[in-house]
Amino acid sequence: MDIVDLKSREVFSHEGRGVAALVEEPNLKISQVGLEPGKEVPVHTADAPVTLQVVRGEGVFSAGKESVRMGPGKLLRIPEGATMGIRNESAKPLVFLAIRTPAAAGPARESALAVKPGTFVNMIDFAPLKPGKEKSFREWFHHSSEILGKHPGFVSRTLLGPIEGGSRYAAVVEHESKETFMDMHLSDDREKLFRQAESLVLGPSTPYFYEMLLSYRK
């Protein structure tokens, strides 16, 4: 379970507006936007369905030729392709959430045989877990994936669990290139996270490295 403290994530730059990314997932992106009095988000075209919710303050929200003054307690839904803009015409700061769902408007995925030359794959064979550490290990993997996923070149990080009485876990990590993977691998983030994992496993884990040649996904 993740709890986001919206107040602590408020951002106002020296220009009087700011954006904090709260959730960055393929099908869901949530940002918190702050506008000082008199500032605005210029009119632009929504590239995915957007839901706007005011956290505090009051603003004028436009969608196409319509506009509405809105404060906390309401949601404004804007369809993909519509023009939208936000203005803070009040005397107090405006903070609101912009919730985008890119996949909701996309076409259904089709089977494809994809060639991705250069994609770098790291497979990790984790050492057996210490007794009673399964839940902590999965929580560690989730937390570490959120942090390492912010590094440039990251594609995916997948945890594989044991079946039929096995005790070992494995992971598949995809990066755009060996160079971006090594930048992440040598980072302080990665070193700190894997030091934390040492208390959960019985010994060192074994890495294997590959280059993706073909990928068939349905």
Task: Say if CB 121 and CB 173 are below 8 A apart.
Answer: yes
What's this model's pTM, rounded to 2 decimal places? 0.49
Residue of 177, 172, 158 lying closest to 119 (CA atoms): 177
Answer whether residue 109 shows pLDDT above 50.
no
Confidence at residue 112, expressed as pLDDT on a 0 to 100 scale:
40
Average confidence (pLDDT) over 202-207: 90
Considering the segment(s) 7-105 as one domain, its CATH architecture is Sandwich (2.60)
Tens of pLDDT, residue by residue over 8-56, are 888 887 778 888 889 888 889 999 999 999 999 988 888 889 999 999 9
Size of the chain in residues? 218
Write down the pLDDT at residue 119. 83
- To 10 degrees, the CA torsion angle through 112, 114, 120, 125? 40
Q: 200 CB contacts (<8 Å, ≥6 apart)? A: 129, 130, 133, 136, 137, 140
pLDDT tens for 159-185 read 998 876 667 899 999 998 888 888 888
Q: Please report the sign of the dihedral spanned by the C-alpha atoms of residue 180, residue 24, residue 104, residue 139.
A: positive
The listed CATH number (3.30.70.100, 1.10.3720.10, 3.10.310.10, 3.40.50.800) that belongs to domain 112-217: 3.30.70.100
Chain segment 60-95, per-residue pLDDT in tens? 999 988 999 999 999 999 998 899 999 999 999 999
Residue 142 has pLDDT above 90, yes or no: yes
Domain locations in the chain? Answer: 7-105, 112-217
Which residues have CB under 8 Å from 129's CB, separation 6+? 137, 167, 169, 200, 201, 202
Residues linked to residue 6 through DSSP beta bridges, in sequence order: none
**pLDDT over threshold 60, residue 116:** no
- 148 within 8 A of 157, measured Cβ to Cβ: yes
Residue 171 confidence (pLDDT): 93
